């Protein structure tokens, strides 16, 4: 207040003395000053993450203290409004699930068959979000295959096969110690009977290093493509005695090349690249007519047919990729249309 010689912002009664001199009497001026408090208001509001709050022409979505000065309607005094806004975080629930390589997990209305982190968001009656975060692990295919030797006329047994008397290829179910997923183990059993044994294997450069079963011969990573032949003696000791044969092993190492196919439509295969023993899903939309009689073929990088099958249903899943390399998938639908795609297995 600056009037009549006063300069103050203090409320109450104050006085000011004025001396006139020249024989006149002094005078005293009294000031009764009333200071009106600034009108204030405090509002507390809580909203959910993802919501917005409208306040005095502003759209707010972050926690904090907000102030706004409102034009006075009387006494020439403005008012101050304060908003205390709290934004609550969405409730997040984290779960972990593990399924076998040929299994699936239903989550948020979806059927999941691939490892990954998935989120499902729902909104409750108050408009707040609840998020469920799923970490899904799809275990690889634990199928194993190997070559073994035994003396002709004897019985072969190991941890996976018991009492085998004839050479050949055998497959047994195998329960993995990881996740309890059922799988298979395959053995190629060769009888030693005094003859020369000839074995030919074909791999790609991406399948290196490679060790010849029953020997200590290893082809290291970086071995050039080509044909390699090793002659080595294979010996087996049993309770009945010993036997041995000369093994001539031929290993064909091919460079990774694409399958020579005609012009066809491209397939979408995921995941890609994929690890050894993992499954691959085919993404292909088909009509019932196209689905009827559909055939899936899997070729190695050398162009040899590894597997051919008619899937039972959808989604179409390809497994049996038990060695590193580049595979070609070829699908012929019921109307004769051809689709191809490459899978890189590391």
Quickly list DSSP for 37-101: PPPEEEEEEEEETT--EEETTEEE-S-EEEEEEEPPSSTT--EEEEEEEEEEPPEEEEEEEEE-T
Closest CA to 80 of 43, 33, 35: 43
Class of domain 265-345: mainly beta
First to last CA, the chain: 85
Three-state DSSP state, 207: helix
Separation CA 277–CA 289 (nearest Å)? 32
Separation CA 321–CA 299 (nearest Å)? 11
| pLDDT for the residue 97 | 92
- The pTM (predicted TM-score) of the whole model is 0.40
Task: Compute the radius of gyration of the chain from its Cα atoms.
Answer: 41
- Of the two residues 185 and 162, the one the predictor is more confident about is 162
Structure tokens belonging to residue 154: 């004897």
DSSP secondary structure letter of residue 139: P
DSSP secondary structure letter of residue 291: H
| pLDDT for the residue 346 | 59
pLDDT above 70 covers a percentage of the chain that reads: 88
Closest CA to 238 of 312, 180, 156: 156
Separation CA 53–CA 66 (nearest Å)? 12
Task: In the chain, list all ranges with CATH 2.60.40.1220.
Answer: 265-345
Q: Say yes or no to pLDDT of 117 above 60.
A: yes
- Of the two residues 142 and 259, the one the predictor is more confident about is 142
Three-state DSSP state, 199: strand
Least confident of 129-133, 170-174, 292-296: 170-174
In this prediction, residues 59-75 reach a mean pLDDT of 81
Neighbours of 7 (CB within 10 A): 7
In this prediction, residues 95-101 reach a mean pLDDT of 88
In this prediction, residues 120-126 reach a mean pLDDT of 79
Q: 248 near 197, Cβ under 8 Å?
A: yes
Closest CA to 340 of 256, 252, 266: 266
pLDDT tens readout for residues 214-259: 899 999 988 998 889 899 999 998 877 889 899 888 787 877 553 3
Q: Say yes or no to pLDDT of 261 above 50.
A: no
Where residue 164 falls among pLDDT bands split at 50, 70, 90? very high
In this prediction, residues 120-143 reach a mean pLDDT of 81
Q: 250 near 199, Cβ under 8 Å?
A: yes
Separation CA 296–CA 318 (nearest Å)? 9
Q: Say yes or no to pLDDT of 15 above 60.
A: yes
């Amino acid at each position: 207040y600056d009037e009549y010689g006063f300069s103050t912002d203090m409320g109450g009664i104050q006085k000011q003395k004025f001396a006139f001199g020249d024989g006149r009497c002094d005078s005293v001026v009294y000031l009764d000053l009333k200071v009106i408090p600034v009108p204030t208001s405090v509002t507390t509001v809580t909203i959910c993450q993802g919501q917005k709050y409208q306040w005095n022409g502003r759209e707010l979505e972050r926690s904090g203290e907000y102030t706004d000065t409102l034009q006075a309607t009387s006494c020439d005094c403005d008012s101050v409004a304060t908003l205390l806004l709290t934004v609550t975080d969405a409730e997040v629930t984290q779960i972990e699930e593990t399924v076998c390589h040929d299994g699936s997990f239903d989550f948020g209305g979806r059927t999941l068959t691939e490892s990954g982190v998935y989120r499902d968001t729902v909104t409750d009656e108050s408009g707040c979000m609840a998020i469920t975060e799923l970490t899904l692990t799809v275990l690889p295919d634990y199928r194993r295959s190997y070559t073994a030797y035994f003396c002709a006329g004897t019985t072969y047994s190991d941890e996976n096969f018991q009492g085998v008397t004839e050479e050949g290829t055998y497959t047994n179910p195998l329960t993995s110690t990881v996740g309890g997923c059922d799988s298979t183990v395959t053995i190629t059993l060769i009888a030693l009977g005094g003859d020369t044994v000839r074995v030919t294997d074909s791999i790609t450069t991406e399948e290196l290093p490679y060790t010849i079963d029953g020997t200590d011969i290893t082809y290291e990573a970086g071995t050039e493509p080509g044909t390699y032949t090793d002659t080595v003696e294979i010996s087996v000791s049993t309770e009945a005695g010993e036997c041995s044969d000369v093994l001539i092993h031929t290993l064909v190492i091919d460079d990774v090349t694409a399958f020579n196919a005609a012009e066809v439509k491209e397939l979408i295969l995921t995941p890609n690249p994929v690890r050894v023993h993992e499954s691959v899903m085919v993404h292909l939309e088909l009509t019932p007519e196209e689905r009827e009689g559909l055939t899936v073929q899997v070729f190695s990088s050398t162009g040899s047919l590894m597997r051919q099958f008619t899937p039972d249903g959808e989604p179409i899943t390809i497994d049996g990729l038990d060695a590193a390399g580049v595979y070609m998938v070829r699908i012929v639908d019921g109307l004769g249309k051809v689709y191809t795609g490459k899978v890189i297995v590391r």
